Structure 1
Amino acid sequence: MKLQINSLSKTYANGVKAIKDVSLTLNNGMFGLLGPNGAGKSSLMRTIATLQEADAGSIFLDDLDVLNNKTRVRQLLGYLPQEFGVYPKISAERMLDHIAQLKGVGNAAERKELVSALLENVNLSKDRKKNLGTYSGGMKQRFGIAQALIGNPKLIIVDEPTAGLDPAERNRFYNLLSQLGENTIVILSTHIVEDVSTLCSNFAIICQGEVLYAGQPDNAVNEMEGKIFTKAINNSELSFYQDDFTVISTQLKTGKLHIRILQDTDPGRGFIPAVPNLEDVYFSNIATRVDVTTI
């Protein structure tokens, strides 16, 4: 499968330009969409998921025109939005069974086996009979993941999926998505760099509705080799260093502010070379759009 996004744009009625001429090509596997809150990630996800119209551009899933064949796209889609509601007085087991019927799984025995496997995969088997209204935030998130996987979707969109998950649940989710990505296009929208670094073979950085970078995480990090330097300074000195260097991130440790800068040559002044990582790629790309020292 291939998802081709061409020159996609969306402006809301209040004048906010949520998507600005976005073009991306996605193949089978995990694709990370990385950006700060309000970057346009959710707007792009909703457009791909046929939940809102685009003002311009096109989206094709292989030969299927996504924007003009919404019903067919929804049959091939698994979607977990950032925020979703649940029916509070129905059990997870019954709700998944109902969704499976809506997705075209007509055989009751097949549905039972499918629901059982999904609940096991998201660690909800022991809570299968409980009403969804009694679930914690993390449990609801895991239920949302399960419902997104019904019907063997060819395209899966998950928007900030690890919110509310503890480390063990997060690792379970990582493993599940990695398995799915072998035969499916999985779009992972997140502001957590570690999610992309851990899971995704390709990614894009989006900010203020625009794609600032697209490529492979390892290649992106390699491009930063020899260009990242770090130093511990006093908090009061930050503005002086911002005047002279491109400060891409800051971190307070034991009373000292550790800054990382992007520089083509050794800056001297007590800076030492640092091993680059995907956070450096991310922050260096969005540094001209937002104040990264406040993130």
Structure 2
Amino acid sequence: MRNILPILAVVFAMIIAWYAGAFMMNKKWTYDQANRAGVELTLSEVFADTMAQPRPVLPAPHQVAVNFWETTVEKKITSRRSLVFHGWITLKATLTGFILGTIIGTLLAVGIVYSRVMDMSILPWAIISQTVPIVAIAPMIVVLSNSVGIEGHLVPKTIISAYLSFFPVLVSMIKGLRSPDRMQLDLLRTWGAGKSQTFWKLRLPGSMPFFFAAVKIAIAASLVGAIVGELPMSGSGGLGARMLVGSQYGEPLLIWSALAAAALLAAVLIFIVGTIQTITLKRMGMAQ
């Protein structure tokens, strides 16, 4: 209970700030309409109107919650108006890109740790690659995928997600694989252990806390990559496409409901990774 109270306090403060922001940003439209009609409004009437506008600048939390309920529970999951339908499309690209990015990041980290040539050549380019804005790369990847005859929308989104997710895994795994100190390495050499035995018995187990810390970041980055990848392909569906449709048609509630769905999806994915982390580290004797 003590652990939940601080979280609830922060959530409560955020909701209050959100309502205050909705009032401040939506009241201009209310006053404009009142002035045109020649009507004087009380503060309570202004507040009530700002909380119920059909197309507010900033929707109130309860408006987002109602729209979220309507587009999840009250819609068939096969409907293109359902956030479950669009969330599943985004989830497929997220997981595919995350798995690919994790594999690439891990393999590159092993290569960099064991090869000075890769350390001097690959790592700098990996760092430089992250300075390029993903919003600039996403359309290029989509165009290149189409030009080489790759059909469908999953591959471009997977590439974008993998691009964002491999880097945190790469950096953390390098740190984790190099975490054993000199005394531990010398001890294994004294016992006659080779490089492969040192890797499996010492370096890899020692890197697990670093790996799972990176994976939590990577899964969230992969979700962001999938959403960004959906923006140039609004017809493909997905939460990113849903946000784009809401922006094009002036429907802020669609945008915020899709954002809420993305945040909920990210929380679930991170919770799953955290559960796997706890189970794995307990089995390895690294956590109580």
* TM-score normalised to structure 2 length: 0.24
Q: Where is the strand percentage greater, Structure 1 or Structure 2?
A: 1
Give the greater-gyration-radius structure (CA).
Answer: 2
TM-score of the superposition, structure 1-length normalised? 0.24
